[in-house]
A = this chain, B = another copy of it.
Amino acid sequence: MPLDPLSSTFAALADPTRRAILARLALGETSVMELAKPFDMSLPAISKHLKVLEHAGLISRGREAQWRPCRIAPSSFKQVDGWLGNFRRFWDESFNRLDGLLEEMKAEEAAKAPPHTTRKVRVKKEKQRGRTRG
């Protein structure tokens, strides 16, 4: 019984070899041989890893003569990011819209009031770092 897509994807990402393969592929499409080079591991092992990555939707594979070039496939990454988004507010303080609005209001206010509010402004800027929606 196959796992749900998100589970397969996370499972695929839970292996350092596979993450290293993805990191290499982020630099561009390449062959299995090329991908295998950095690892002290048999070729079949790499082949399995690629199968796992493919099944997880993290890579796709083409055919060029005897080579099977691999490349990053976006969709599963996107899904992981989407899932992670449900929790973003826990670490990205400025993610929350209310927070964002508040910060903005403070900024507006601080923009009028000069020097003694500097500290507050700096705090605000730090919180705002990473705020991407609004």
Docked Cα-Cα span, A33 to B105, in Å, equals 42
Q: Is the CB of B23 within 8 A of A86?
A: yes
CB distance from A41 to the nearest CB of B (A): 16
Interface residues of A in 95-127 (CB under 8 A from B): 104, 107-108, 111, 117-118, 122, 125-126
Q: Is the CB of B87 within 8 A of A72?
A: yes
Q: Does A80 contact B (CB under 8 A)?
A: yes
Which residues of the partner chain B approach A125 to less than 8 Å between Cβ atoms?
Answer: 128-132
Which residues of the partner chain B approach A129 to less than 8 Å between Cβ atoms?
Answer: 125, 130, 132
Q: Is the CB of A117 within 8 A of B108?
A: yes
**Are A91 and B87 CB-contacts (below 8 A) given A14-B7, A118-B107, A125-B128?**
no
Q: Does A16 contact B (CB under 8 A)?
A: yes
Q: Does A63 contact B (CB under 8 A)?
A: no
A82-93 interface mask toward B, CB cutoff 8 Å, 1 = contact, 0 = none? 011011101110
Q: Is the CB of B133 within 8 A of A131?
A: yes
Most buried by B among A14, A23, A111: A14
CB distance from A105 to the nearest CB of B (A): 10
Which residues of the partner chain B approach A126 to less than 8 Å between Cβ atoms?
Answer: 132
Instruction: Give 9 nearest A-B pairs by CB, closest first.
Output: A74-B91, A10-B14, A11-B14, A78-B91, A10-B13, A131-B132, A129-B132, A74-B90, A133-B133
